[in-house]
Amino acid sequence: MPNHATRPHIVVLGDFEQALHRLGDWRAIEAAAEITFHHQPVQGGDLVAAAEQADAVVLVRDRTPLDAATIARLPKLRYVVFTGSRNATLDLACLAARGIPVSHTDWGPSKESTSELTWALILAATRQLAEYGSLMQQGQWRFSTPQPLSGVLHGEVLGLVGLGEIGRRVAQIGKAFGMEILTWSPNMTAERAAAHGAQAVSIETLLARAKVVSLHLVPSLATRQLINAERLAQMRPDSLLVNTSRSALVDMPALAQALRDGRIGMAALDVFEQEPLPVDDPLRHTPRLLLTPHLGFVVEPVFERFARGVVTCLEAWLADQPLVNCLSS
């Protein structure tokens, strides 16, 4: 419960988009508490310095790891809220041991938005939109030297590694484009694949046949760095690898080398081992690689839901009312 002798201090971490305050009605919270928003990433000592006086911490997704060592250095912490319904970098057991309750928000249409971004990347890479857009900005119309032209997806093979809620949506659009859909995951069955218009095959067959390989798995011990040097070598030399899921599914140095060597045609990535991607990361200068800054769930309707959820959770906590969407207490 908040201490009414002094105004509680609430710290919001990871709001890179500066969206939570804009999209939520914070007036009641601002009247009862001090609030600090952090729009740049903070970790390590900077994270402790930012949150050590916090009575409550708000986390946007899993952008700011809150492990046991960090929690131990936050002596005033009494409440945590995170956006979405899961957070892989939050030590729930440690918080529970200290009796610190944790709440979360609803999601909004994040699966739909991630599916749409997947296809935005597939289409942009296939039609070379970034390259042609750059030419236009430079006052040009076509490349000055002969270059391979854009491809067509109709009649090609779409390989989906994972056929969950997002993978199924991606499959539906692929079928609309007239693509053959192949799928693989550790527990895939022929019946489940067929129910969504796909054919279950081995990972080797999928990689060998697919023009577009799109990843839609949550990493596990069995799938971590699933796409490694050996599997990249199994892919078509004109293939496109798309990852809007988790960076842990891909051996990033091996992918960069495969692109530099021309062993695959192109890749499009929305997720990275370290986010934001460091300015000096070699991926920024890897050829035939389309990069976006983890935009899969970053859309107005999702952040509207996040903002409303955070405000609702904090208002209940500040008013000593039953906590909302509480995971532990």
- Same domain flag for 89 and 140: no
> How far, in Å, CA of 121 to CA of 111, rounded?
15
Closest-CA residue to 163 (of 139, 123, 195, 128): 195
pLDDT at residue 320, rounded to an integer? 96
- Same domain flag for 249 and 194: yes
Instruction: Give the chain's domain count.
Output: 2
Taking the model in full, what pTM does it have? 0.93
- Same domain flag for 262 and 285: yes
- Same domain flag for 153 and 136: yes
**Choice among 63, 236, 246, 305 that is catalytic:** 246
- Same domain flag for 267 and 317: no
Q: What CATH number did the domain enclosing 82 receive?
A: 3.40.50.720
- Same domain flag for 241 and 266: yes
pLDDT digits (tens), the chain, 329 positions? 444 458 999 999 999 999 999 999 999 999 999 999 999 999 999 999 999 999 999 999 999 999 999 999 999 999 999 999 999 999 999 999 999 999 999 999 999 999 999 999 999 999 999 999 999 999 999 999 999 999 999 999 999 999 999 999 999 999 999 999 999 999 999 999 999 999 999 999 999 999 999 999 999 999 999 999 999 999 999 999 999 999 999 999 999 999 999 999 999 999 999 999 999 999 999 999 999 999 999 999 999 999 999 999 999 999 999 999 999 54
Written as one letter, the residue type at 209 is R
- Same domain flag for 58 and 175: no
Q: Active-site residue 9, yes or no?
A: no
- Same domain flag for 45 and 136: no
Q: Active-site residue 230, yes or no?
A: no
- Domain residues for the domain of 29 are 9-109+299-328
- Same domain flag for 117 and 185: yes
Sheet holding 102-104, edge to edge: 34-37, 9-13, 56-59, 79-82, 102-104, 326-328
**Choice among 78, 216, 294, 305 that is catalytic:** 294
Residue 139 forms part of a structural domain: yes
**Choice among 34, 180, 275, 315 that is catalytic:** 275
Q: Active-site residue 52, yes or no?
A: no
Residue 4 forms part of a structural domain: no
- Same domain flag for 167 and 243: yes
CA distances from 307 to 75, 120, 141, 209, 302 (A): 26, 26, 43, 43, 9
- Same domain flag for 244 and 284: yes
